Amino acid sequence: MSKMSANILILLFCSLFISCGTTRIVTERKINADIFVNGVNKGKNEVKIQQLGLPKKIEIEAKYQGEILGSIHAHRKFTLITFLVGYCTGIGFLTAWTFPDVIIIPTKNFISDELRNSWDSPQQSIWMKPLNKK
């Protein structure tokens, strides 16, 4: 196999992984939180962003009703995929940096309003009800 055909094979192999690369962003606890990436609301609970691209830093926040529950900084890194794409194309050294597969936002202890309301108004036990006298 010639060096040219080997490079084409590596390029095709790398493009297979590059074309479908997304990073999942999730909260540490399963809560109904809005997820913001660089101040832009991307969705609730779990969002996906493009995994490969230029070197980039992002600020990720999880918010519930305007209150920040957690935040994290993430950045793309130089990986084996970056090297392989860069070796085959040259431009890949700049354009194939990657975020991790999953970014987990650490969140502080959180009690939702629904749960808090259920604690504030407990159901009355059958033993606490008055007896019906006839």
Which of 14-18, 50-54, 57-61, 95-99 tops mean pLDDT? 57-61
Look at the block and give the residue holding tokens 């354009």.
95
Say if CB 82 and CB 95 are below 8 A apart: no
Q: Which of 11, 8, 25, 94 is nearest to 62 (CA)?
A: 25
Residue 68 has pLDDT above 70, yes or no: yes
| Predicted confidence band of residue 87 (pLDDT cuts 50, 70, 90) | confident
pTM of the entire structure?
0.67
Statement: residue 124 has pLDDT above 80: no
**What pLDDT is stored for residue 107 in this prediction?**
86
Report strand pairing: 22-27 vs 46-50. antiparallel
- Output the pLDDT for position 17: 55
Q: Work out the percent of the chain whose per-residue pLDDT is above 70.
A: 66
β-sheet bridge partners, residue 61: 36, 71
CB 46 within 8 A of CB 34: no
- pLDDT at 10 exceeding the cut of 70: no
Taking the domains of the chain in order of start, what are their residue ranges? 3-121
